[in-house]
């Protein structure tokens, strides 16, 4: 399935792009399955707000740790082999989560689930390395569409299954999907041979040098962390907000917000086409303005379904169009260090997600949804100001 660059203008076959994008969607979904069913988990295990907030935070933390310790392996070992090992771990962990009887076992399982979901961060630079320079933005737009679908559809699937079959069934389903894609990826991914031969510790340490060396990487990582912290604070608290009056939605109804948020798919696809035409800097400015506007709308019309809907659409359009623009910038830095560069960027990104999820639940437990949206708008605004001051 590896493309012949003489026959495939993109440098990668369409079938392989489809497989990678679909696998990215299926794997990324594991980071968000627990959010719509948090009320069900809390009721079943009788959890405090602190322990309940630790569940999505642990998943994001595990993902962030993997970005530091696992993602760089893609520059040192064949990515297909790394992905195969992670697929086995993910499968085992999801079934462990399904069998959890205490909050602590579930939190640990979610942490390891986040670690093994690093499959996505092996596949994204893999797709970038296989694509031609001319079509890199288009290929990344397609792969990021897969990521967007995984993040957004996961909530709808989780909410529906959780409501009818219980929250444990969500993790069982996840384990079956992990096994399926683990087999497909091992069968069809090309077996690349990385040129890098650095020992593991030096490989990890070299990421610090990449941060110092590349200004674009530093800037992209920081603004990405800020807007993704806001994004995850919103999604980690949305279920808690709409499960209360005046909405009183159940888990299935909460999961339907994932369908509304599929506007992010449009953002990813459009950004993939517009970045070559207008440049990453302009797309990033527009993206962050959309995010801020979305939070303002969601805050002002917190008790109106149409207000929440419009706010979520704007937020997701901004987040995923900005993500594509950011990744096109970083994958153009150094082809020989794409896994580590992506690891640095995503480490910032999901560290922001971890902090945002935890702070979002903390804020809504002490204040209200309006305060969460205000917090999200402010930190995204800081990212916008930083980008406008430092953009190259």
Please give the angle made by the CA atoms of 212, 216 and 217, to the nearest 5 degrees.
Answer: 60
CA end-to-end distance (rounded Å), the chain: 38
Domain ranges of the chain: 14-390
175 to 94, 97, 147, 170: CA distances (angstroms): 5, 10, 18, 9
Angle, in degrees to the nearest 10, between helices 136-165 and 119-130: 150
Where do we find the tokens 């990104």? 349
Separate counts of helices (H) and strands (E) for the chain: 17, 0
What is the rounded distance in angstroms from the CA atom of residue 158 to the CA atom of residue 129?
Answer: 33
Please give the angle made by the CA atoms of 279, 347 and 28, to the nearest 5 degrees.
Answer: 85
Q: Is the pTM of this model over 0.95?
A: no
Structure letter (DSSP) for residue 74:
G
Angle, in degrees to the nearest 10, between helices 136-165 and 14-28: 40
What is the rounded distance in angstroms from the CA atom of residue 358 to the CA atom of residue 172?
Answer: 25
- Out of 3.40.980.10, 3.30.9.10, 1.20.140.10, 1.20.1250.20, the CATH code matching 14-390 is 1.20.1250.20
- pLDDT tens-digit profile, the chain (392 residues): 444 434 444 567 888 989 999 999 999 999 889 888 888 888 888 888 788 888 888 998 898 889 889 988 988 888 899 999 999 999 999 999 999 988 899 999 999 999 999 999 899 888 877 776 666 777 877 887 888 788 778 878 888 898 899 999 999 999 999 999 999 999 999 887 776 778 888 888 888 888 888 999 999 999 999 999 999 999 889 988 998 899 998 877 887 787 776 777 777 777 767 777 788 888 999 999 999 999 999 999 999 999 999 999 999 889 988 988 888 888 878 777 888 888 888 888 878 988 998 899 899 989 999 999 999 999 999 999 999 987 65
For residue 286, what are its two tokens? 């527009």
């Amino acid at each position: 399935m590896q493309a012949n660059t003489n026959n495939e203008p993109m440098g990668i076959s369409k079938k392989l792009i489809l497989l990678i994008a679909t696998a990215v969607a299926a794997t990324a979904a594991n980071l968000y399955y627990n959010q719509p069913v948090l009320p069900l988990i809390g009721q079943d295990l009788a959890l405090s707000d602190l322990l309940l907030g630790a569940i999505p935070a642990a998943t994001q933390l595990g993902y962030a740790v993997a970005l530091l310790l696992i993602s760089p392996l893609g520059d040192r070992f064949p990515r297909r082999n790394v992905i195969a090992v992670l697929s086995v771990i993910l499968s085992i962990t999801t079934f462990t989560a399904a069998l959890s009887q205490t909050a602590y076992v579930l939190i640990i399982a979610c942490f390891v689930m986040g670690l093994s979901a690093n499959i996505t961060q092996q596949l994204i630079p893999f797709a970038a390395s296989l694509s031609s320079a001319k079509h890199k933005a288009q290929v990344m737009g397609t792969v990021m569409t897969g990521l967007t679908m995984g993040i957004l559809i996961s909530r709808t699937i989780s909410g529906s299954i959780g409501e009818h079959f219980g929250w444990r069934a969500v993790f069982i389903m996840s384990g079956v999907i992990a096994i399926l894609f683990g087999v497909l990826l091992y069968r069809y991914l090309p077996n690349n041979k990385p040129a890098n031969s650095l020992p593991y510790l030096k490989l990890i340490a070299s990421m610090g040098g990449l941060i110092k060396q590349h200004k674009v990487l530093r800037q992209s990582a920081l603004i990405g962390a800020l807007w993704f912290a806001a994004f995850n604070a919103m999604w980690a608290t949305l279920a808690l907000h709409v499960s209360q009056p005046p909405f009183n939605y159940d888990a299935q109804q909460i999961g339907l917000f994932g369908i509304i948020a599929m506007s992010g798919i449009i953002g990813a696809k459009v950004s993939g086409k517009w970045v070559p035409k207008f440049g990453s800097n302009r797309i990033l400015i527009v993206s962050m303005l959309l995010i801020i506007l979305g939070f303002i709308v969601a805050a002002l019309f917190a008790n109106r379904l149409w207000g929440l809907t419009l706010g979520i659409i704007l937020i997701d359009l901004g987040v995923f169009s900005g993500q594509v623009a950011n990744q096109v910038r970083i994958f153009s830095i150094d082809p020989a260090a794409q896994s580590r560069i992506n690891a640095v960027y995503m480490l910032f990104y999901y560290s922001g997600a971890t902090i945002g999820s935890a702070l979002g639940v903390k804020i809504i437990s002490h204040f209200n949804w309006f305060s969460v949206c205000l917090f999200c708008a402010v930190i995204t605004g800081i990212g916008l100001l930083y980008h406008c001051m430092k953009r190259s």
